[in-house]
Each structure stands twice: as C-alpha cells, then as structure tokens.
Amino acid sequence: MELNRFVPFLEDNYVKFHPLNMPYIRIGKIDILGFVVGVSQDARFYEIFLVDDGTGTITIFHEKKHFEIQNLERKKIDDKYYKYAKNINSGVLRKEECPKNFPNPRPKFNYPIGTSVCDMAIFEHKWSLETKNGLLGKKVKRCDYVHAIGYCSLDFMLGKRPREEITFEDLSTAKLNFLSTKVIRIDEREYNAKMYSWLHTIVRKRYDEHPDEPELCPKMET
C-alpha cells in the first residue's frame, strides 16, 4: 500500500483521500499485510510498528488499549478451554471430523486419563480457531507477519484544525499517519493465502477493465 500515492482533499468538512490519478476512488478502511521490521512505543498511548508490505515501509500507530482488550479476550478463551479439558465430553467430539494435525504450537491442556488422540486434536483445533492459532493477544515482535486494519489521518502538528483554516499548503505538507484499529499477528501460511486472494480479487478489480473475464494466455508458437 503506497501511502505516498494518497492525495488528500476536503469534502463535507473532513479530510479524505483518493489514490493518485484515481479521484473517483475514495479511501476508507485500509488493510495492510506485511512483515514487521521494527517495533517501538511512545511513553503513553501508542505501540509503533514499522511494516514492510512489499511496496515500502509503513509506520503504523496502534493504541495500547487495543492490546489490553485482546489480552482479556485471550485469557477468557484459555480459561474456558482449560476448564473444559478437565471434563472433556468425548461423545460430543466424536460427531466431528478428526483434524489431520494438531495445532502448532499446542496448548498445554490437562486431559482425563484415556482421552483419545482424536478427541484431543478436535478440542485443540477448536481452541486454535478461537485464538487465531494461539496468536490472539500475543505481542507483535520484529520479524512477525501482521494484518493491520485502520485508516489514514493527517498530522497538522498543532492538533486538529478547523476546516476553514486548512489551506492547500497544509494538505500538501502535513504528515500522513496510519492509525490502526486492529493489528493481528498471522503466520506465514496465512499471509501468503491472504496476499494471493487480494491479488486475484481486490487488486485485479481495481486495475483490470474486465476483471470478470478469464485471463488470456498467449499461444505458444510451434
């Protein structure tokens, strides 16, 4: 996502954005997939991530309180599963298909003696889905893959500016920030799957005049 190609403009008393040379497209919610190359934080409010999304590096500001909410959510899920693991209901689990593999990493549940491997695999698969393969609530670190969701905002340095005081020069020189509402750690497999899906749906529809037509492969000369 080349944020430097975003062009700010005023509409309905708000600063909005469109891609360069695409004024008919309005930029709203933004999804970013990338690889974390740096992590820092300010003294009070934000975790700051430097993310390489393949087009360059993006500085992402993420409020610390969002991670606190995720930590609480993760604790509730873990507590629920640790409790259920001690009294696992094999009769209910046997109605479901047994996964081929255990999640990685595996949770350290204490099962009753005699619990089958298949019951454990089904139970831990459910836990894995709810905790995003154990990544929910985990701190983002350097070299992690992330999916960030948020929006762009102009930093006028002196706080919010009334519309009537914003000039063209202000729009042109203000710093562009990416403020995230959600930052999710993902593994490499999910990163590749999401990127492949985006390239063949969202990106193709934006730049292809006929996105619904099949791709034509050139005929090989014989």
Q: How far apart are CA 9 and CA 125, in angstroms?
A: 47
Asked if residue 102 has pLDDT above 50, the reply is yes
The contacts of residue 14 (CB under 8 Å, 6+ apart) are 163
In terms of pLDDT, which residue wins out, 121 or 24? 121
Structural domains of the chain, ranges and CATH numbers in brackets: 26-64+138-161+172-204 (2.40.50.140), 67-134 (no CATH)
User: What are 129-139's pLDDT values in tens digits?
Assistant: 999 889 888 88
Predicted model pTM: 0.73
